[in-house]
């Protein structure tokens, strides 16, 4: 965000600089609006399925491929706005429902119960992002061969299937 210029944003968007300021109130609020739209959009594109956590993570991997700007936004928010703590201020209830759904799977004996459901939720998100833009090993792109994506999806499913088995 530090390098973003409202003049350039206005030019690329086709809006005037005063219009951007009038509507968003500044580049910080514009960033917040874009961030929230991407985060909510991700949740709608990849519905959470507590009864198939490995499959959910595999679908989340695919979504990160189709929308690499999501992970970039997450990294910039961490770097410039919220360096620690919960990243999605205002969306806590959405995650809280996912955590309750994981707890229900634990009570039903379908997911191991010796790991707190909040930690499982964090591990799911982090595991899906293994090859995302923040990776310290290898970054996946939509242009990678389908066989590579299939191998990675299979690895995610196998890894989480074993790690979360009761």
Q: Three-state SS string across 46-83, please?
A: CCCCHHHHHHHHHHHHHHHHHCHHHHHHHHHHHHHCCC
Instruction: Provide the whole-model pTM.
Output: 0.79
The predicted model gives 45-73 an average pLDDT of 89
pLDDT of residue 17: 80
Distance CA 30, CA 85 (A): 22
Please give the CATH superfamily to which domain 35-164 belongs: Tetracycline Repressor, domain 2 (1.10.357.10)
**Cβ within 8 Å of residue 104, ≥6 positions away:** 50
pLDDT of residue 124: 95
Average pLDDT, the chain: 85
Measured at the alpha carbon of residue 165, what is the angle toward residues 161 and 113, in degrees to the nearest 5?
135
- On the 0-12 / 13-18 / 19+ scale of CB atoms within 10 A, 56 is buried
Distance CA 97, CA 85 (A): 19
Given a cut of 90, whether residue 163 has pLDDT beyond it is yes
């Amino acid at each position: 965000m530090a390098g973003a210029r409202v003049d350039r944003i206005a030019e690329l968007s086709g809006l005037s600089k005063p219009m951007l300021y009038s509507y968003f109130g500044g580049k910080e609020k514009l960033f917040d609006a874009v961030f929230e739209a991407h985060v909510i959009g991700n949740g709608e594109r990849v519905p959470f399925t507590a009864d198939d956590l490995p499959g959910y993570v595999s679908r989340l991997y695919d979504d990160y491929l189709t929308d690499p700007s999501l992970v970039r936004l997450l990294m910039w928010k961490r770097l410039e706005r919220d360096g620690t703590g919960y990243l999605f201020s205002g969306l806590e209830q959405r995650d809280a429902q996912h955590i309750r759904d994981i707890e229900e799977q634990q009570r039903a004996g379908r997911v191991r119960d010796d790991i707190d459901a909040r930690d499982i939720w964090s591990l799911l998100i982090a595991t899906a992002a293994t090859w995302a833009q923040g990776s310290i090993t290898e970054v996946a792109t939509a242009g990678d061969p389908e066989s590579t994506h299939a191998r990675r999806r299979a690895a995610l499913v196998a890894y989480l299937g074993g790690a979360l088995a009761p």
